[in-house]
């Protein structure tokens, strides 16, 4: 698991025998690489005792001896410490071995280089302990998946459906314990929690309060590209024809012409001229407007824009400007975050909505030439995001497209063994921003 640290420098090793000169290998192939010869007699041994820093003997530790120069697929010689912490690993005589000692009871793995067969080695390593407790949600609810962490470290655990959690592999000491869950404000213990090997911390309780995921409205960002126009909805049915208006009143009849005198009966005289046409009658009142036809069906809604984005940055001080090799860069401040969260003073962003994200990241350095930075998802570096720092003082930036799942943890890491020093505030020493497509 990525949270477990390999700390060779903390192992205090005492070689109790002489003769650590380089011996010839058992067999060499034509390419010059060491190969384990299964026919070699196991006629010597490497022995010793494993203790923790309290002086307690460690039983059940696995001890592996691999010949110097052997390939990665070579089978090691293996031994296990007994109840008195002692181990004996049988090996061929007159050869040098790299010896690895590891145990779930220890906070680090010891690696001893160039140990000659026949030697005795004593190892003292830091023991581990655990922290256990319960996460509750205000108003009830299922806390399953709540992230429990030790701020400023990479130790973390996940709460079960009943809210209980157990964080193992933690060095003895005093820690603040924090917890976070989507839709709830992050919580931290009121006082540091002490845990020792003999008395692991129990009963740690953290209550989380629900909050709105929508923060205060920030400044209006640049207008995004216009989405594709959705298809035109089907034309609605033609409304029914309104009723015909009432017929207007008939205009008044024109005046009747005077009756001519009755002529003598004889041949019919010519027809008299037609009288003047009477004036046109007034226009009748307009009829009542017909009822409005039914509204047509609404067209399909167009594609929505992005709803997930976030931004964090670091304003370094003298106390936290240096980031050692292999460590994640902390962020002192958090900008607007939607469907993701970041706690100021920590080094990670928690993703709440799965999808494809465009990630931009950069650092401003005053020392660290030869180092490199990279994005890490759940503690594993994404190889395509590694950027080398080619100058001691300068600005290094990158952009990547990553597919992230809900619950993923994203960090910006010093992906090298070389420490880097960030530019001090008011300069922004490091920043990380995400935008979901």
What is the pLDDT, as a whole number, of residue 305?
A: 56
* DSSP letter string, 266-294: SSPPPPPPPPPPPPPPPPPPPPPPPPPPP
Residue 39: pLDDT band with limits 50, 70, 90: low
Closest CA to 105 of 73, 76, 130, 70: 130
Say what percent of the chain tops pLDDT 70.
88
Backbone angles phi, psi at 134, to 5 degrees: -140, 140
Residue 84: pLDDT band with limits 50, 70, 90: very high
Alpha carbon distance 110, 244 (integer Å): 100
What is the pLDDT, as a whole number, of residue 343?
A: 95
Backbone angles phi, psi at 391, to 5 degrees: -130, 155
Closest CA to 324 of 421, 227, 394, 409: 421
Between 236 and 399, the more confident residue is 399
Between 374 and 301, the more confident residue is 374
Tokens 């002529």, residue?
263
What's the whole-number mean pLDDT along residues 68-92? 93
What's the whole-number mean pLDDT along residues 114-140? 90
Backbone angles phi, psi at 196, to 5 degrees: -125, 170
Say what percent of the chain tops pLDDT 90.
57
Residue range 161-174, pLDDT digits in tens: 999 999 988 888 99
Tokens 């005077």, residue?
258
Residue 99: pLDDT band with limits 50, 70, 90: very high
Residue range 241-252, pLDDT digits in tens: 888 888 888 889
Q: Are 88 and 102 in contact (CB under 8 A)?
A: no
* H helix or E strand, kind and range, residue 436: strand 430-436
What is the pLDDT, as a whole number, of residue 18?
A: 31
The mean predicted confidence, pLDDT, of the chain is 85
Residue 7: pLDDT band with limits 50, 70, 90: very low
**Residue 217 pLDDT greater than 90, yes or no:** no
What is the pLDDT, as a whole number, of residue 207?
A: 93
**For residue 417, is it left (φ>0), alpha (ψ between -120 and 50) or beta?**
alpha
Pairing of strands 355-367, 62-67: unpaired
Closest CA to 430 of 360, 356, 351, 350: 360
Residue 30: pLDDT band with limits 50, 70, 90: very low
> Cβ-count burial of 181 within 10 angstroms (0-12 exposed, 13-18 middle, 19+ buried)?
buried
SS3 of the chain: helix, strand, coil, percent, to 5? 0, 40, 60
What's the whole-number mean pLDDT along residues 290-315? 81
């Amino acid at each position: 698991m990525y949270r477990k640290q390999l700390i060779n420098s903390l192992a205090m090793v005492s070689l109790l025998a002489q003769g650590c000169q380089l011996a010839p290998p058992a067999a060499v192939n034509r390419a010059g690489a060491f190969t384990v010869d299964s026919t070699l007699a196991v006629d010597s041994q490497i022995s010793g005792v494993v203790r923790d820093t309290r002086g307690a003997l460690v039983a059940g530790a696995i001890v592996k001896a691999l010949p110097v120069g052997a390939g990665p697929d070579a089978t090691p010689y293996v031994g296990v410490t007994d109840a008195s912490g002692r181990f004996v690993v049988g090996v061929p005589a007159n050869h040098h071995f790299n010896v690895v000692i590891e145990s779930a009871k220890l906070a680090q793995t010891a690696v001893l280089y160039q140990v000659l067969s026949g030697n005795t080695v004593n190892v003292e390593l830091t023991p581990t302990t655990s922290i256990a407790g319960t996460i509750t949600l205000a108003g009830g609810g299922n806390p399953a998946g709540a992230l429990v962490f030790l701020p400023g470290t990479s130790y973390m655990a996940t709460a079960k459906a009943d809210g209980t959690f157990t964080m193992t592999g933690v060095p003895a000491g005093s820690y603040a314990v924090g917890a976070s869950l989507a839709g709830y404000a992050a919580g931290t213990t009121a006082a540091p929690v002490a845990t020792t090997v003999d008395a692991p911390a129990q009963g740690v309780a953290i209550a989380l309060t629900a909050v709105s995921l929508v923060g205060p409205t920030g400044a209006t960002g640049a207008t995004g590209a216009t989405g594709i126009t959705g298809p035109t909805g089907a034309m609605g049915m033609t409304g029914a024809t309104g009723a015909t208006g009432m017929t207007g009143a008939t205009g008044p009849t024109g005046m009747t012409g005077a009756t001519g005198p009755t002529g003598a009966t004889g041949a019919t005289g010519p027809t008299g001229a037609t009288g003047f046409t009477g004036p046109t009658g007034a226009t009748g009142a307009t009829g009542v407007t017909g009822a409005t036809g039914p509204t047509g069906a609404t067209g399909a809604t167009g594609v929505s824009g992005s709803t997930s984005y976030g931004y964090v940055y670091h304003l370094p001080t003298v106390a936290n400007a240096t980031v050692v090799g292999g460590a994640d860069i902390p962020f002192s401040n958090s900008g607007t975050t939607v469907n993701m969260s970041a706690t100021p003073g920590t080094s990670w962003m928690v993703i709440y909505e799965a999808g494809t994200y465009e990630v931009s990241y950069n650092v401003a350095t005053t020392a660290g030439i030869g180092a490199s930075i990279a994005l890490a998802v759940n503690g594993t570096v994404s190889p395509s995001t590694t950027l080398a720092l080619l100058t001691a003082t300068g600005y290094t930036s990158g952009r990547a497209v990553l597919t992230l799942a809900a619950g993923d943890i994203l960090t910006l890491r010093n992906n090298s063994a070389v420490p880097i020093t960030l530019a001090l505030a008011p300069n922004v020493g490091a920043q990380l921003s995400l935008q979901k497509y």
